[in-house]
Chains A and B, each alone.
Chain A
Amino acid sequence: MRRVLILLVLLSAILPPGCTRPSTETGGNKKLTIAVIPKGTTHEFWKSIHAGCLKAAGELSAQGTQVDVIWKGPLREDDREQQIQVVEGFSSQGVNGIVLAPLDNRALVRPVEEAKRAGVPTVIIDSALASDAIVSFVATDNRKGGMLAADRMGELLGGKGKVLMLRYQEGSASTQDREDGFVEELKNKYPNIQLISSDQYAGATRDTAKRASENLLNRFADTIQGIFTPNESSTAGMLLALEDIGKAGKVIFVGFDTSERFTEAMRNKQLHGIVVQNPFNMGYLGVRTMVEQLQGKAVEKRIDTGVTMVTPDNMNAPETQTLLHPPLDQYLK
């Protein structure tokens, strides 16, 4: 018995002070709780999505429908089992809807279908899911993004040369589509550009991407004229590797996604173009679509959130600036 008492005292002592209970009913309005589950929480990409979700929640609440957004990523980023557990946890917790960016287009099918069975619908954002049991798919047209990159590459290389592509990670549908779009556009419109390497993967982090880039550059640095990488971490890793061997600026480099580092690199002519998504819009439309579905309105099955090629020439225009610097501070306190 004493052991139990001690355990009780110790447990209550380590509980975080000021932990608040989640509120339920507010006045007479029905409150909607939407769980948003990203692939990870550290990339600025996810923070932009978060800000977009909060903007949508704020707007909807001001219009009369109280919307609460719960933001939770997997405990270990990029761990499929952990993301599955988060989805399962929310479906039994009784949230009204889930907005999910699945780590894998197959592994997350069962939990999403079980959630639907338990009465919790899901909107998929960013990466596709191999299931019809979803409300809508709100994402970038990734294939088009890859094609824009190929066009930029072709333009800058004058239609001929040797290029390589470093892929991101297996199972990630979004980057797979970009890679496919790039390869296809090169083949169709730039037959004189040779893709000499396209089977290497950068891995989940900037660190693994840098290592993979170093290995690739070791083999091909002297033969290539252009490089394409399909997401933020692979672009960052490749940029670091290029700087390390002093080749930054000497090859045409087209990347994907934004960061402060990339805009600086574009000014320094080390990066010649980045394909920019609109994650802020993704979070915003994801939450809005979910709420519309819950209110019984019809929603589109596939919503395109937009993709833009940002180059050193157009990066200072105001619309491009909003894409590059979404108003995070305004929404993320």
Chain B
Amino acid sequence: MVAEVTQNRGWLVSGLVQKWLNWIGPILGLLLVILVFSVLMESPGRYLSAFNLRIVLAQTVIVAIGAIGMTLIIISGGIDLSVGSAIALTGVITALGLHSGFSPATAVVAGIAVGGLVGGVNGLVITRLKVVPFIATLGMLGVARGTAKWVAGQQTVNVPDTWVNGLLVTFPDPAWLLVAPGVWLAIGLALAAAIVLRNTVFGRRVFALGSNELAARACGIATDRLKIWIYALAGLLFGLAGVLQMSRLRQGDPTVAAGSELDIIAAVVIGGGSLSGGEGSIFGSLVGALIMAFLRNGCQQIGWPNYIQEIIIGAIIVIAVAIDRWRSSRATA
């Protein structure tokens, strides 16, 4: 890292400022999106109001928690296309648990555990059967979705009223929480994941694995076991995202989150993650998720049709990655 930086033409910046720029980039992008919409709107007061902020934050949580898990996977050089199906399956499992009369805590733990199981199976298929992550998780996308529909009896599973239903509400109870409990949960998990990635041996190994798998193995890292752990850990987070999605719908819906994998991967990529591995940040992924949520919210408030939203988000993904590629090619020039 330091060696790269000293080769920068004419940039008398130290490695620390370079890292600071990495951080600032996504935040500036987010502020830019908010600024552009505020300028275009006739009454930006509503867009920037606390009420709207609470809504946008609650809408971002599911993608954000999915993005935390996906960041781990992408940094390690892998990919997981089955996250949307995992969200549906774990939501259904939790709903079935609540519906059958289990305690909310048990149902939630069961949902999260099933998520970890799905992730673990992904990891096993990738390492033991030597199927590339794209294909392995593509298969799991179908298997998990089908299992969700099967277990739910091809219908939605309604749940009784428990504290689980209050996790992502716009008016949190107690009111001093300011935002929904689910938002605080996502923030806490993001902090924990960021600390693990930067300051633990496990985190270092994840980066090493994504950076150069052969070199990592040569250094004595048990790459297969590490991969299984990464997918399983991410799976637990996807399971939590599924529980929260169920909380938002107040039902287990086997058809939910179809296509969410693309939103989640986009969040990681906008935040600086590289699909070839070795790069990424939890903070960046969260900001990426926020950018997309504010974009959607802004497009609706301005009154633009749905298709404009889709086009803009697609364009932003490409632009963000292009800028990132350009910046890193300058850094290694």
**Chain A residues near B (Cβ < 8 Å):** 3-4, 6-8, 10-12, 14-16, 19, 21-24, 70, 72-73, 75-76, 78-81, 84-86, 88-94, 104, 106-107, 109-110, 114, 117-118, 170-171, 201
Residues from chain A with a CB closer than 8 A to the CB of B42 are 21-24
Residues from chain B with a CB closer than 8 A to the CB of A107 are 156, 249-251, 253
A81 touches B249 (CB 8 A): yes
CA distance A109 to B249 in the complex (A): 9
Please list 18 pairs of residues, one from A and one from B, whose beta carbons are closer than 8 Å in the complex, sorted by A's number.
Answer: A8-B32, A10-B319, A16-B304, A24-B43, A79-B258, A80-B249, A80-B253, A84-B249, A92-B51, A92-B52, A93-B46, A93-B52, A106-B251, A107-B249, A110-B248, A114-B171, A118-B51, A171-B155
A81 touches B245 (CB 8 A): yes
Name which of B75-83, B195-203, B295-303 contacts chain A: B295-303
A81 touches B250 (CB 8 A): no
CA distance A118 to B255 in the complex (A): 29
Chain B residue at minimum C-beta to C-beta distance from A74: B306
Residues from chain B with a CB closer than 8 A to the CB of A19 are 40, 302, 304
Cross-interface CB contact of B309 among A11, A14, A75, A171, cutoff 8 Å? A75
A21 touches B249 (CB 8 A): no
Chain B residue at minimum C-beta to C-beta distance from A114: B170
CA distance A94 to B47 in the complex (A): 10
A88 touches B170 (CB 8 A): yes
A92 touches B49 (CB 8 A): yes
Chain B residue at minimum C-beta to C-beta distance from A21: B42
Please name 12 further chain A to chain B contacts, defined as beta carbons within 8 Å, in addition to the given A21-B42, A86-B300, A110-B248, sorted by A numbering.
A14-B312, A21-B40, A72-B300, A79-B255, A89-B296, A93-B46, A94-B46, A107-B156, A107-B250, A107-B251, A110-B165, A201-B154
CA distance A256 to B35 in the complex (A): 48
The interface centre, meaning the residue of A3, A70, A84 with most chain B CB atoms within 10 A of its CB, is A3
B259 touches A11 (CB 8 A): no
CA distance A281 to B25 in the complex (A): 52
Q: A19-B304, A107-B249, A170-B156 are in contact. Are A4 and B32 (CB under 8 A)?
A: yes
CA distance A121 to B29 in the complex (A): 35
The size class of the interface chain B forms with chain A is 35 or more
A7 touches B29 (CB 8 A): yes
A89 touches B156 (CB 8 A): no
Residues from chain B with a CB closer than 8 A to the CB of A110 are 165, 169, 248, 250
Chain A residue at minimum C-beta to C-beta distance from B256: A81
B43 touches A89 (CB 8 A): no
Residues from chain B with a CB closer than 8 A to the CB of A91 are 55
CA distance A227 to B115 in the complex (A): 42
B169 touches A81 (CB 8 A): no
B55 touches A14 (CB 8 A): no
Q: A7-B323, A201-B154 are in contact. Are A16 and B308 (CB under 8 A)?
A: yes
CA distance A245 to B234 in the complex (A): 48
A89 touches B55 (CB 8 A): yes
A79 touches B301 (CB 8 A): no
CA distance A11 to B40 in the complex (A): 13
CA distance A92 to B46 in the complex (A): 7
Which parts of B288-333 form the interface with A (CB within 8 Å)? 296-297, 300-304, 306, 308-312, 315-316, 319, 323, 327
Chain B min CB distance to A34 (Å): 13
Cross-interface CB contact of B59 among A85, A90, A104, cutoff 8 Å? A85
| Interface assignment of B36: CB less than 8 Å from any CB of chain A | yes
CA distance A6 to B327 in the complex (A): 12
B323 touches A88 (CB 8 A): no
